[in-house]
Structure 1
Amino acid sequence: MKYLKILSLLIFSAVIFISCNDAKTSTNTPKKEDPQPIDFSKTPNSTNSQTSNQTATEPAQNAQGVYHYTCSQGCAGGAASAVNCATCGNLLVHNQGYHANTNTNQNDSPFMTPPTTETGQNAAGVWHYTCGQGCAGGSGSAGNCSNCGSTLAHNQAYHQ
C-alpha cells in the first residue's frame, strides 16, 4: 500500500510519455514544409475577391484618356489592373492621376453648412458699425468709413 501511489503515478507518467511520442508521423497530418514566398504574377484571378471585382468593372482609361495603371519606365499604354507591361515586361504601377477630378462636388462633411453672412443692418434698419463723425450709412464689420475714412464705432443699438 505504501508504494501504490508511487506505482500508479509511474504508470500514468509512462502512458502519457508513450502517447505523446513525436517519433512517428501521423498519416492524418500532412508533413510541414518550409514556407515559400508567394508569386503574385502567377496567382489566378479570384472571383470572390472584392478588389478583383472592383477593378474588373473599372475601365482602363478615364474620360480624360488617362490609364489606371501605367509603366514605371514610361512605356506607352497602360491597363485597368496591375499586370505586366506589354512593351518591357515590368509590373504596371498605380497612376494616381486616373482618380483626379473624378468627384469634384464632394464636401468634407455631409453636415457642413455654409457660414451665414452677417448683414450690416438688423430688421429695424440700424447699422452694426457707424461713423463717429455722423456720416450717413455704416457697415456690418469694423473698418473705416467710406465717406470720411475715420474708424467705424460699434453701435450698441444694433443689438436691441
Structure 2
Amino acid sequence: MTPATDQYGTFRQRLDDLLGSLSAEERAEAMLLTRAESDHFYDMGVARFPVTRWQGLDWDNCAHLAQYVLADQADPEDILLARSVRKYMSRDSLVVLTWGNLTIPSVALPARSVARHADEVIATSDDIWLFAIDEMILIEYWHHDRVTIARVPESAAPPARR
C-alpha cells in the first residue's frame, strides 16, 4: 500500500469493510493507489470510452461484450459481478477498482480477490469500474442497475456530446 501521505479521498473509511474482509495474503497484495496512479489507470481504461452529456459511459454508442440489467437476472448483483470477473479476467490479473467519485481512493487487487469479495466491492460504492490491466477489459457496475463488460479501446473516445 502507498504511504498515507500519497493517498487521497475524504471517505477512505468506505474501504474498511472491503479491506477488512481480505485475508492476510490478499491484504499483502492489495494496493491503495495515489491520485496520480489512479488518474493514470483511469486514462488507460474508463476515459477511453465515450460519455453521455451526463458524464456516464455511453454504452448505446460503443461496443461491449455483454451487458446485464440486474432486474432481469436471477442471481444477486454480487454473484453476477463475481461471475463476470471470473469469465473475462484471469485469476492473477491486476484489477484497478475505481469508484464513482474521488472521495474513495482507487484500489488494485488480483481478480481472484475481487471475485471472492464482490459483495464488499459492491457495498463500497454505487458506481464502480473494474479495469483489468493485462486483458484491457473494463467492467462497469452502475447504480445497482446494470453490469457492462467491454474491451478497452486502443485510444481515447471523442469528447462528450453536448
Q: Note whether the superposition's TM-score is higher than 0.5.
A: no
Structure having the larger proportion of residues in strand: 2
Query: Structure 1-normalised TM-score?
Result: 0.21
Which structure's CA Rg is the greater one?
1
